[in-house]
Amino acid sequence: MSRSARSSAAPTRTNSRRGERRAVRSVPRGRYHRTQPQLGRIFLRSALVYFGTILIVFAWLWWHIPRENPVTGERENYGTLFTRGVQSIVNPKKSFNVVFQQPRFSVLLVGLDHVPATKGDPGIIRRSDSVMVATTDYDTKQVRLLSIPRDGWVMHWQGDRNYGYERLASTYSLGQQTNLNDPLAGIQRTKESVAKLLDIKIDYYVVIEFEGLAKLVDALGGLEIDVPMDMNYDDKAAALHIHFKKGRQHLNGEQVVQYARFRDKKLADLGRMPRQQEVVKLILQEMMKASNLAKLPELARIMHESVLTNFSLDELIALAQHIDEYSPDCIQNRTIDNYWSLEPGQEIDLPGLAEGQPNPGAQWIYQRDRDRAREFLLDLAAPIPEPETMTAESGAGA
């Protein structure tokens, strides 16, 4: 048989037992190869749906089922704990003393009242709406917070040059006007003027405009504030509209800014400074909560991007990572004493004013009150706990 004939013949195989040749039946390819892939795809889809459902249920439980922290007593979910663990790996805890090279430092906090620019205005009108000085000692875990009235009549200093007396609220804007091309000119004058006023060294500064404060509060999820009175105030020029009812309520970032800026007619700035201190304390207390620890690196980045500060990003992260070691009870606050009287016969002759020139609505701060304020800021010793009183039940007289 020729080669071509053999190739066209039906395939055969030899049965070794029977010794006979028989034709091999061809397997029907169509049905077999159509059924196998279909079954595989059905199985794969079923497996994906099954495991996907399990994954979704597990993720929901992971982020919504709370557990109680045995240390703090707060309830938190496993997702938060996992995120915090990842954060500690990505951002290992930095040594406070290594980053700052000192356990104690001071910070100047300035909140700017930004008046919208008008025609012909270069847009630099930024008054020092609120001015505070904070000091802290990492070893004793103490914080002191001092408010200085924006209408305080203070000596202005910039670049070690004396610029005469003016209101504290004008330090930032007048400092900017000395050099329009220097973005730090405003805070330089404010920092030097406050340092001279209190005779202390100021290590850091944080300048916050209203938008930056609102972002920070929103990142924390808002603040619970007990509004002490009905608040209603409208200022079209400053685009400020404040309307709150008395009572405890949850405020978002924009509302917290409005609450801090409200000035009632009776107390004016003297009534507003305690509210501003309250907002700062509430923000710090929120950061100290275990439930917000996972947010701290992000909050540090928001501060670094939204405020003007000479804190480095590493320093902000170190502060955020160690803030849980502080207690809300460690924060003490007060307002510097000042004197303001426009009553006939009781006016204060402010230095720097020409004879007969009326008081421009400024408040005088006596030297004794500056000394008390400095002592308050520098006394960062941990308070001595009061001894427990003996009672009959505790064994008194035994």
What residue type is 144 in one-letter code?
Answer: R
With a cut of 50, say whether residue 398 has pLDDT above it: no
**How many angstroms separate the CA atoms of 92 and 124, rounded?**
40
The CATH H-level (homologous superfamily) assignment of domain 90-95+104-378 is LCP protein (3.40.630.190)
pLDDT at 59: 66
Which DSSP string do the residues of 37-50 spell out, in sequence order? HHHHHHHHHHHHHH
Q: Are 349 and 364 in contact (CB under 8 A)?
A: no
- Model confidence at 394, pLDDT cuts 50, 70, 90, reads very low
**How many angstroms separate the CA atoms of 282 and 269, rounded?**
20
pLDDT at 34: 52
pLDDT at 162: 95
- State the pTM of this model: 0.67
pLDDT at 379: 94
User: What tens digit of pLDDT does each residue of 273-324 get?
Assistant: 888 888 888 888 887 777 777 777 777 777 777 788 898 877 877 887 788 7
Helix, strand and coil in the chain, % to nearest 5 = 40, 25, 35
Strands 240-244 and 231-235: antiparallel
Distances (CA, A) of 394 to 192, 388, 391: 55, 10, 5
For tokens 């427990």, the residue is 388
What residue type is 251 in one-letter code?
Answer: L
Q: Are 258 and 139 in contact (CB under 8 A)?
A: no
258 three-state secondary structure: helix
**Token duo for residue 12:** 């055969």
For tokens 């909560």, the residue is 289
Distances (CA, A) of 130 to 53, 149, 168, 373: 53, 8, 9, 17
310 secondary structure, DSSP code = S
**Token duo for residue 165:** 């007396």
User: What tens digit of pLDDT does each residue of 222-278 get?
Assistant: 999 999 888 888 777 666 788 889 999 999 999 998 888 887 766 556 667 888 888
Domain ranges of the chain: 31-89, 90-95+104-378
With a cut of 60, say whether residue 333 has pLDDT above it: yes
pLDDT at 140: 92
**Token duo for residue 241:** 């509209």
Cα angle 292-294-296, degrees, rounded to a multiple of 5: 75
**Token duo for residue 74:** 């707060």
